[in-house]
Chains A and B, each alone.
Chain A
Amino acid sequence: MNDHPSTDTPGTLQTRRSFLRTSLLGAAAAWTLPIFIDKTFFTLNALAADSAIQTVTGKDSTILVVLQLAGGNDGLNTVVPFADDAYRKARPTLGLGADRVLKLNDQTGLHPSLAPLKALFDEGHLGIIEGVGYPNPNRSHFRSTEIWQTASEANENRAYGWLGSYFDSACQGADPTVGVAIGGLSPQAFASKTPTGVNFARPEQYRWINYDKTRGPNNASEHFFRELNMPGEMAADIASIAGDDPARDSGGSVGAIGGSIASGGSSLDFLERTALDAQISSDKVLEIARRTKPLVSYPGGRLSESLSLVGRMIAGGLPTRVYYVSLGGFDTHQNQQPAHDRLMQELAGALGAFAADLKAQKNFDRVMLMTFSEFGRRVEQNASGGTDHGAAAPMFIMGGGTKAGIHGRRPSLTQLHQGDLMHTVDFRSVYASVLEQWLKVPSQPVLGRKFSPLALV
C-alpha cells in the first residue's frame, strides 16, 4: 500500500478526500489499474492470485467463437450433395444442381451464396464436418437447442451448458469476460455452477445505465456508483490514503449487521467482489469499444455487427477464451429458397469479413470459429416449398489454425430414420476435439464422459 503515487494537486473538488476518491476511482476505470489497487484487487481474488491455477487468458492464447444458426439450418442446401440422385429426387424444386453449386469436389458443393467460404476452403482455412447429430434426435427447437447447449443425451436434462462447464472446470478465478456472448441474453451454453461470462448486444449495454444528463466525470450518479460498488476494505484503503480516520470507515457495509458476516465468503463479500469485477470488466469492454475500429469493412446485417464487435474485442485484447454469437431465421418451413439464399449470403459475407479482419489483426491463427444449428431439415422438401425439422447436418469450422477440408462422412440419403439423415458424427465428439485440440483442456470433466475426437486442428 506504500507505493501509491503521491499527489499534491489540490484539484477542483472541495476536499482532499473527495479529490482522491475521484482520481483513484477514475484511475480504476482506466485500462491499467494503479499498482496498489491492482494488488488489492488480486488479493481479493485469491484464486487469481495463485498463478499456478491462473487461467491462460484470451489475450495471448487461442480463442473459440461459437456461432449458433438458430431455427435449424438446412444442411443439405448448405453443403450440397449435388451429384446424389436421391438428393435431386427429394428436392425437386429446392435442390441445387451441379450448375449452381460451388464445387468442392465431384460430389459436394457449397450453396451458391457461399463464395467467401469457398475461398476460405480453397486457401485451407475452412473445415466442414459432415453428418453431425446425436442418437434419438429431438425435433423440437427448444429441446434440441438445449441438448446442443448442454451436451446432454437426448433423454437427459442437464442444468449447465457445455461452455459453462468448461468455465467451471478450466477457468476458475478467471476474469468474468473469459466468456462473452453477443446478445441481450446469456445463452444456455454459458450456464455454469460458478456464474462466469458476460453478455451484451452492444458494449454500451454492459455497464450501469443511469439517467443523469451530465456526461463524463461530472456525472454524479456514475461517480458515487463507483464508490458504492467497491469492496468496503478497498474503499477504506483509499480513505486512509486520503488521510481519513480509518476507524470511521470500517464496520461493514449496507445490509451487514455488526461485523459478524464480514468474514470471507459472506454473501455481501461475494456481491462486493462481483460488483468490482463488473465495474472493471465493463470499463475494459467500453474502453476497447471506444479505442478500436474494425480493420476491414463488414457487409450489413446483424451477424456482421456481432462479428465485427467480436473482432474489435479480440483486437483490443479482452481476455476472452470463448465468444458466442447467433444468427436466427433458419426455420424455413415455407418458401425456403429466397429466405435461405439471404441467410447464406449474410453468413458467408460476415464470415468472410471476420476472417479478413482477423488476418489484418494478425490474429487469424489463434481464432477458431465453429457453427452449429439445433438440427438440419427433412431430406424431402414439403408441400409449401420449404423443409421441416430434421436431424443431422454439417458444421463449419474456420480459422488459421484449423484443419481444413471435409471431416467425417456424409450420411446416406437413402437410409433414413423417419425421413431424416442419420448422424455419422456425435456433436460431442466435435466439442471434445475443440476442447482438447483448440482450448487445450481435458474434455471429460466438461462433457461428463469420453468422446472419440476428430482431428480438427
Chain B
Amino acid sequence: MLTPLPADRWDRTKAAHLLNRAGFGGTPAQIDALHKLGLASAVRSLVDGPAQPKPVLPPPWAKPQDLASKRDGMRDQVAMSADGKERGEIQKRFNQMQRREQVGHTRDLGIWWLAQMRTTNDPLLEKLTLFWHGHFATSVVKVRDAFWMWQQNEAFRRFGRGHFGALVKAISRDPAMLIWLDLRDSRKSHPNENFARELMELFTLGEGHYTEKDVTEAARAFTGYRLNFREQSFRYAASEHDDTPKELFGRKGKFDGDAVIDLILAKPECPRFIAKKLWQFFAYEEPEPALVNHLGETFRLCDYEVRPLLLRMFSSEEFYSDRAIGTQIKSPVQWLVSTARIFDTDYPSPFVLFFAMRQLGQILFLPPSVKGWDGGKAWISTSTLLARYNLSGLFVETATGPMLQGIQKAVRDLGFDTMNDEPPSVRMPDAGAVDVAKLIPAALRTEPAKLIETLAGRLFSGPLAPRQRDAFLDFLKTKPSPPDDASIRSLLHLMMSTPGFQLC
C-alpha cells in the first residue's frame, strides 16, 4: 500500500536498485554517492533532476523543413521540363532523395537518443521519456519524418514529469501522432476513429471503460486537427471541426478535443490505469490489486502530477521489496545504456548500436505497434539471449574483428535491402572499450576472491550465489596468476554471459 520505507532501512543495494530503475544504473562510485545522500534526498535528486541539467542538444538536422516549398521547387523543375519521361525522373529522384535523407536521419535519431541516455545527468528524464515513447508508441514507419519523431520525443521530455493531462493534450496535437493515428485525415464529414479509440483503450482508460458510442463521439470532437507542411507544425482548421453537440460518458455538450480529454481525466479508471503502468515499468509486473487501487488514488490526489507520484513510488517499501529488486528483465535499451554506464565507457560504435537494437528486438522510434513493446519475458528468446551474450563481448573483449565483420555483413544482407538502398556507414569501432585498469586496482589481482566480488558488485544487482562465485574462481584458476588484462576481459565477458546479468 505504498508504505514509506523507514529511513534506517536505506542501504547500498536499495540505492543501486533506485539508480537502475529510475535511471540506467551507474558505476560503484555513483551508487555510493546516491547511498550517502540518504533515502529522501536520493529519491529527490533523481525525481527532481539536477539543479543544472545538461541541455539536450538536438541532432543538427532536427529543424522544421519547409516541405511545401521543397515540393514546389521540384514541381517547378517538372513544369520547366517539356519531356514527359524526364518529368517522371525528376519526381522519382526527388522522392528517392527525400526517402534516403529520412532513413539516414531516423537512424541518427535512435543513436542520438541512446547517447543522451548514456551521458545525461538527469537519467530519470530519459527513462521517463522512454516510458512515454512506449506508452504513446508511434513508429517512424508511418510517420516517415525524423524531425517530427524528434519533436514528439521532445514533447515527452517537456511534459513527461508534469501534469498527465497536459501531456495527453500536447500529444493529441503532436504532428507525428496526427500522422500515426490518422487524425490529420479526420474530417467533419468522415471522422476517423483511430486516434479516439487508442486514446481511450491504450493511452488513458484501458479496455472496457468506454463504449463504442464514446469512441465515435470523441472522434467527432477531434476533427479539425491538421498539419502545416510549410512550418512542419500543428494547425487547427476551424472549418473542419465538428462543433455540434456530442454525448460522452453520459454527459452532453459541444465538446472539442481538449474537453474530451478533460472528461476522460475525470474518470477514476484513468489515474489507476496510468499509475499501474508506471509501476509496472519502474517496479514490477502484475502488482497486487490493492496496490493498484492505492496507486490510482495517489495519482489522483497528486492531481495527475507525475513527479509527486514517482516520489511516493520510489520512497515506498514495495518498491524495494523482494518482488522488485533484481527481478526485471532489462529491456534491450536498458541493457545497452546500463552496460555502458556501469563501465563508464562509450558504446562499441553507432554501427553496432543500430545492429544491436534490431537484433535484440527494440528499435527506438520503431515500436512494433501502437501498443508499444510487450517487454518482460518477451524480450528473451534463445536467439536474443545469445545475441546479448555475444554483444557483451564487444564491450569488453579486444579481438572482436570477425564478430564485427559478421555484424556488418548481417546489416548489409538483411537490415537494409528491404528498407532502403543504402548501407549504414561502415565504421570499425574501437573494440573492447572497457579500461581494465580503471575497473580494478592492481593490488586486487593477487586476491581472486576479492577481485570477483568487486567485479560482481559492479555487474549484478544482488550477491553472487556460491556456485557462481566458485565457477568464476575456478575459471580464474585456469588463467595466469596474477591474471593479465586479457584474462580479466574474458572473466567479464563470462560474467555478462549469464542469466543474472540480464536482470536489474
Contacts and interface: CB of A to CB of B under 8 A. Distances in A.
B212 interface: no
A119 interface: no
A235 B493 contact: no
B490 A199 contact: no
B28 interface: no
B369 A158 contact: yes
Contacts of A220: 475, 478-479
Given A146-B141, A255-B500, A198 B383 contact: yes
A221 B475 contact: yes
Interface residues of B, number: 83
A383 B89 contact: yes
A227 interface: yes
Contact of A207 (B139, B386, B503): B386
B106 to A, nearest CB: 11
Contacts of B355: 184
B288 interface: no
Interface in A247-263: 248-249, 251-258, 260-261
Interface residues of A, number: 80
Interface stretch (A83-91, A264-272, A434-442, A443-451): A264-272
B327 A229 contact: no
B323 interface: yes
Contact of A141 (B418, B463, B466): B418
B85 interface: yes
Given A221-B493, A328-B417, A185 B410 contact: yes
Nearest to B463: A257
Contacts of A261: 322-323, 326-327
Given A185-B359, A232-B465, A225 B497 contact: yes
B465 A271 contact: no
A145 B419 CA distance: 9
Given A261-B327, A266-B327, A184 B413 contact: yes
A254 B462 contact: yes
Nearest to A326: B414
A278 B382 contact: yes
B327 A267 contact: yes
A375 B250 CA distance: 47
Contacts of A228: 468, 471, 494, 497-498
B208 interface: no
A257 B326 contact: yes
Nearest to B329: A267
Interface of A (DSSP majority class): loop
Interface stretch (A121-129, A209-217, A345-353, A397-405): A209-217
B482 interface: no
A206 interface: yes
Contacts of A454: none
A254 B464 contact: yes
B382 A229 contact: no
Nearest to A202: B406
Contact of A209 (B139, B393, B460, B498): B393
Interface stretch (B63-71, B128-136, B220-228, B372-380): B372-380
Contacts of B385: 271, 274-275, 278
B79 interface: no
- Going nearest first, the 8 A-B pairs with the smallest beta carbon separation are A184-B410, A254-B500, A195-B381, A328-B417, A271-B499, A383-B85, A278-B382, A255-B500
Interface of A: 18, 70-71, 141-143, 145-146, 157-159, 176, 183-186, 191, 193-201, 205-212, 220-221, 224-225, 227-229, 232, 235-236, 239, 248-249, 251-258, 260-261, 266-268, 270-272, 274-275, 277-278, 281-282, 302, 326, 328-329, 331, 333, 374, 382-384, 388
Given A224-B494, A254-B500, 14 more contacts: A70-B418, A143-B142, A145-B418, A184-B410, A195-B380, A199-B383, A200-B383, A211-B490, A229-B499, A248-B466, A255-B501, A256-B465, A333-B92, A383-B89
24 contacts: A70-B418, A183-B413, A184-B411, A184-B413, A193-B378, A210-B494, A211-B398, A221-B475, A227-B471, A228-B494, A229-B498, A232-B465, A253-B500, A254-B456, A254-B498, A254-B500, A268-B500, A271-B329, A271-B499, A271-B502, A274-B385, A278-B385, A328-B413, A383-B85
